[in-house]
Amino acid sequence: MGVPVPTAHTRKTPPALVLFALAVGAFAIGTTEFASMSLLPFFARDLGIDLPTAGHAISAYALGVVVGAPVIAAFGARLPRRTLLIGLMAMFAIGNGLSALSPGYHWLLLFRFLSGVPHGAYFGVAALVAANLVRPEKRTLAMAQVMSGLTVATVIGVPAANVMGQVLGWRSGFFVVAALAVATMTLVALFAPRDGGDARASPMRELGALGKSQVWLTLLTGAIGFGGLFAVYTYVASTMIDVTHVSETHVPLILIIFGIGMTLGNLAVAWLADRNQSRTVIGVLLWSAAALALFPLMAGNIWTLGLNIFLIGIGGGLGTPLQARLMDVAGDAQTLAAALHHSAFNMANALGPWLGGLSIAAGYGLVSTGWIGSALALGGLVIFLIAITLERQMLAAVPAPAE
């Protein structure tokens, strides 16, 4: 009989170290995802394109997430999660390194798309690893701790990248993200559990999640409801310069305020969701709709804008409870469902900037993105209410067990 290979659990690796390793990857992803939006005016100027056209680079990254997440999750479900996480970070490092070297706009679109391909699968697999480290009643908070890497990125990574973009050029931000991805590979190799993979997994079993209406409704809640945040955030730097009439040096401060709101919202919403998931999702969507509707009224002054951006950031906590709900309704297709969650949120990342860009291009002004965002949050709320209504009807139709 061979000697068993020690795992992270048999070596008693503290869960906090595993969560930290996963959160560093989330930090890298959050930095590139949100910093690209804050750097929009800089690479638009450098590449000689207007803002709505530059916004397509954001959408290209989001499209990469949408395409990559289900494909990688379906065909990689049998792989050991640790191995898969390392491979995904390697792809992410290469994509961001190439983005920094883009010779022109169309090359940037391609490399942003490639950078987005591993995004959803990484977060999905990381969420499953985190959920398996703790008791079921604490899983949402554990996943939120991984996601805190992304929210902390909005406090530290994104403003730092924005400052670097102003001083060293927008390409420097992508180089830093590539280095963070390499650091994540090292940490995951050291601390992540060495599981043997799921021998029963198959693409067909994973794709079985797509036959469940509750999976689709939960995904649509995120794809529509979260789009409002991106509609405003993508153009916030431009709004500050052209509407609030402050210098570019103020942009990092507002980004930090947004990140603080998102970090607090992520942890607070996860704590609430472990107690009542559905009410928490409804409350966050209503909060977001109200905060986004206030954006056109508060964008003209730097102080009121800062408060509004903080309130909008709190709504960023929506992601973790929806991730937990997907795990509840997906059955055996956990890997695909977890990854599709991030496809849905990057559909929001594509939809929000696109609709915001249309509104700006139509002449309604930069602040009109707030009205677009509020409508999207309310659309997500309607979809979620339909989902829980159908779920309750289905449960009520199940006959009670005979005594």
The model's confidence at residue 378, banded by pLDDT at 50, 70 and 90, is very high
Q: pLDDT tens, 323-349?
A: 888 888 877 667 777 777 877 887 887
Its sign, for the CA torsion 72, 74, 79, 81, is positive
Question: What mean pLDDT is predicted for residues 348-373?
Answer: 89
Place of tokens 């056209």: 53
Q: What is the pTM of this model?
A: 0.75
Residue 39 has pLDDT above 60, yes or no: yes
Place of tokens 């990057």: 346
Q: What is d(CA 321, CA 172) in angstroms, rounded to the nearest whole number? A: 34
Domains of the chain: residue spans and CATH = 15-394 (1.20.1250.20)
Place of tokens 């109200």: 290
Q: Chain-wide mean pLDDT for the chain? A: 84
* 31-45, 212-226, 252-266, 285-299: the lowest-pLDDT one: 31-45
The model's confidence at residue 135, banded by pLDDT at 50, 70 and 90, is confident
The answer to whether 330 and 219 have CB atoms below 8 angstroms apart is: no
Its sign, for the CA torsion 179, 182, 187, 193, is positive
